[in-house]
């Protein structure tokens, strides 16, 4: 069922790898498996699956992630 996708190239998701400490929490909380951990760093592997729910932003201990959905 994971082929259900929404409009591409709209998410406001930004990951700043410099800030990432590799805790893996974003990988854990994201309901659309947007991140993966490789070499102790979070990596965006499926940008267009992001629904801007903010779960990753809320739980990243170093504020390495941002989403700024317009109206919400």
Partner 1 sequence: MKTDSNQSCNKGCCDESNEQIKGFNSSNISIMPSMRPPLNPMAEYEKSGYELCSFVENFVQTDADPVPKIKTHLSKKDIFSTIKVRCGIKRHKYTVTPGLYCIGNPDKNSEVLVTANFKLTFDHVRSQLEGLDVWILVLDTKGVNVWCAASKGTFATDELVRQIKRASLEKIVSHHRVIVPQLGATGVSAKKVKKDSGFRVVYGPIRASDIMTFLKNDRKADQKMRMVTFTFSERLILIPVELNMVMKPAFIVLAIILLLSGIGPGIFSFSVALSRGSIAAAALFIGVFTGAVITPALLPYIPFKAFAIKGIITGVVFALATGFMLTTTPFVSSMTSLTSLFLLTIAISSFLAMNFTGATPLTSPSGVEKEMKMFIPVQLLSLATAVGFWIYSAF
Least spacing, CB of residue 67 vs ligand SF4, in Å: 5
Closer residue to ligand SF4, CB minimum distance, 20 or 39: 20
24 binds ligand SF4, rule: CB under 6 A: yes
Structure tokens of 8? Answer: 């591409």
User: Which residues lie below 8 Å from residue 42, measured CB to CB, with a gap of 6+?
Assistant: 15, 17, 20, 22, 24, 26, 27, 35, 36, 64, 65
**Where along the sequence are the contacts to partner 1 (CB under 8 A)?**
1-8, 10-12, 25, 28-33, 50-56, 58-59, 61, 69-72
């Amino acid at each position: 069922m994971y082929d259900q996708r929404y409009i591409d190239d709209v998410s406001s998701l930004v990951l700043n790898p410099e800030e990432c400490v590799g805790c893996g929490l974003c990988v854990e909380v994201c309901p659309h498996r947007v991140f993966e951990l490789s070499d102790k760093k979070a990596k965006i592997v499926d940008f267009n699956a992001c629904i801007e729910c903010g779960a990753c932003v809320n739980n990243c201990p170093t504020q390495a992630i941002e989403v700024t959905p317009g109206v919400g």
